[in-house]
Amino acid sequence: MPVITNHRQRLKNMMLVAFGQRKMFQNLIPALLHFCVYLGFIIINFEVLEFIIDGIFGSHRFFAPYLGSLYNVLLNGFEFLAVAVLLACLVFLWRRNIIRVPRFWSKEMTPWPRLDANLILLIEIVLMIAILTMNASDQVLQTRSEMYPSTGKLLVSSQAIPLFSTLNTKSLIIIERLSWWFHILGILGFTVYITYSKHLHIFLAFPTTYLAKLTPHGKILTMPFVTQEVKTMLGMENENPEVQEAPKRFGAKDIDDLSRVNLLAAYSCTECGRCTAECPANLTGKKLSPRKVMMDVRDRLEVVGNSLSKGGPGLNDGKSLLGDYISKEEINACTSCQACVEACPIMINPLDIILELRRYVTMEESKAPETWNAMFQNIETNFSPWKFPINDRFNWFNN
């Protein structure tokens, strides 16, 4: 892995893009809804700290005596966020399942990715309802027992007090405790579940944006060893005097040929489909889908990892990323326009992987499309992609 430099710019990217959600706001309404869920996930979970303390020490509303009137302000803020999260999740479910936004129903979005997204949204909704139910029943219990510290009026959950005020105290305690247990177990279960879900991006977005390329999007990096060899053949001075060792393979055939940043990005992919929705090749009906490329890399990683954990052949299973997961037709359809890179909300670069796969096909298999080979030959002989003599360069250039 190359040496990571320019830490200040990388830290800035991480704070603006991963933490600040800057690229999400290219589309305002979905961005605001996502921001509500994101903010709720961060801030409401501070309340979970009190849940844990109450569970360990057998207390109830541990922070209430210490924070005084501020406690009421905080709880009201948490409740308004809970409602915002609940409404945002309902809108997301509506967009995914009722109006069916096209990018959520592409070919690569098989039943499991769609179910995964819906499960997370439903879990969030139920967890928010559990918080509001607990607070509503707790407010009624405050009027019946000194064991329940006063929280002051909670503007959202207090609207449900009439539903609970007719119940006896024992039933209220059961409802309040069940809501408490459901929320704490739900949060802990959710934390485990997201490690098996696309929602792992909640955590991996930070290192992914930190490690993202800082070079301009239009700049495609060359292979140092090849550059060195070409300059040596042409008698040109090498700007980098360090001897570059030949790579074990030119380009990438399988996941072991990709960089660790590429593999990290595969697990960071949110499967939002913005990259595919912006891809001109995909929009014109070609098979290429940048989202599928990232999902295929992750799927291949999972297959190899599961095989190795069971003592299996791992990478030596007779399959490879190129061919069995991603076809040559897909990678050849890419125009290298960088639209997918620009669209990704967490700076994932599917083009990096596509280029490495194409390099393998061209340099190791010598199976580039015939039209490409003609272009390569023209560049070699005429120093341009077109079949015109170099002496006539300005003639066709001016035309």
Q: Give me the pLDDT at residue 366, please.
A: 86
The last residue of a domain, from among 180, 207, 234? 207
Q: Give me the pLDDT at residue 397, please.
A: 63
Closest to 134 in 3D by CA, of 104, 116, 113, 154:
154
The residue-averaged pLDDT of 55-60 equals 90
Domain tally for the chain?
A: 2
**Percent of the chain clearing pLDDT 90 (strictly above):** 63
Amino acid at 362: T
Q: Has residue 245 got a pLDDT over 90?
A: no
Residues 183 and 265 in one domain: no
Residues 132 and 246 in one domain: no
Residues 227 and 202 in one domain: no
C-alpha to C-alpha distance for 389 and 232, rounded to whole angstroms: 25
Amino acid at 36: C
Q: Give me the pLDDT at residue 81, please.
A: 93
Q: Give me the pLDDT at residue 382, please.
A: 79
Environment class of residue 135 by beta-carbon count within 10 Å: exposed (0-12), middle (13-18) or buried (19+)?
buried
Q: Check residues 40 and 172 and name the one with the higher pLDDT.
A: 172
- Residue-wise pLDDT tens digits, 291-341: 999 999 999 999 999 999 999 999 999 999 999 999 999 999 999 999 999
Judge whether 368 and 376 are in contact, CB under 8 Å. Answer: yes
Residues 238 and 285 in one domain: yes
Is 173 a member of any domain?
yes
Q: Give me the pLDDT at residue 240, please.
A: 66
- When the pLDDT of each residue in the chain is averaged and rounded to a whole number, the result is 90
Residues 230 and 171 in one domain: no
Whole-Å CA distances, 149 to 56, 63, 138, 152, 182: 18, 10, 9, 9, 21
Q: Give me the pLDDT at residue 343, please.
A: 94
Residues 196 and 305 in one domain: no
Residues 104 and 145 in one domain: yes
**Structural domain that includes position 53:** 7-207
Q: Give me the pLDDT at residue 375, please.
A: 86
Is 396 a member of any domain?
no
Q: Has residue 1 got a pLDDT over 70?
A: no
Q: Has residue 160 got a pLDDT over 80?
A: yes
Q: Give me the pLDDT at residue 399, please.
A: 56
Whole-Å CA distances, 33 to 14, 120, 390: 21, 15, 56
The residue-averaged pLDDT of 139-166 equals 91
Residues 195 and 231 in one domain: no
Is 380 a member of any domain?
no
Is 391 a member of any domain?
no
- Residue-wise pLDDT tens digits, 59-83: 999 999 889 899 999 999 999 999 9
> What is the domain-level CATH number for residue 350?
1.10.1060
φ, ψ of residue 2 in degrees (nearest 5): -65, 160
C-alpha to C-alpha distance for 155 and 385, rounded to whole angstroms: 69
Is 318 a member of any domain?
yes
Q: Give me the pLDDT at residue 299, please.
A: 95
Residues 200 and 256 in one domain: no
Q: Has residue 17 got a pLDDT over 60?
A: yes
pTM of the complete model: 0.86
Q: Give me the pLDDT at residue 96, please.
A: 94
Amino acid at 132: L
Residues 270 and 198 in one domain: no
Q: Give me the pLDDT at residue 281, please.
A: 96
Given pLDDT bands bounded at 50, 70 and 90, which one contains residue 221? confident
Is 384 a member of any domain?
no
Q: Has residue 46 got a pLDDT over 60?
A: yes
Residues 194 and 236 in one domain: no
Given pLDDT bands bounded at 50, 70 and 90, which one contains residue 230? confident
- Residue-wise pLDDT tens digits, 339-390: 999 999 999 999 999 999 999 999 899 888 888 888 888 888 877 787 777 7
Closest to 13 in 3D by CA, of 24, 22, 4:
22
The residue-averaged pLDDT of 88-113 equals 94
The residue-averaged pLDDT of 108-112 equals 92
The last residue of a domain, from among 182, 207, 232? 207
Count CA atoms closer than 13 A to 351's CA, side-chain side: 22
Closest to 350 in 3D by CA, of 268, 273, 294:
294
Q: Check residues 1 and 232 and name the one with the higher pLDDT.
A: 232
Is 52 a member of any domain?
yes
Is 250 a member of any domain?
yes
Q: Give me the pLDDT at residue 308, please.
A: 95
Q: Give me the pLDDT at residue 396, please.
A: 64
- Residue-wise pLDDT tens digits, 269-302: 999 999 999 999 999 999 999 999 999 999 999 9
Q: Give me the pLDDT at residue 241, please.
A: 63
Residues 173 and 276 in one domain: no
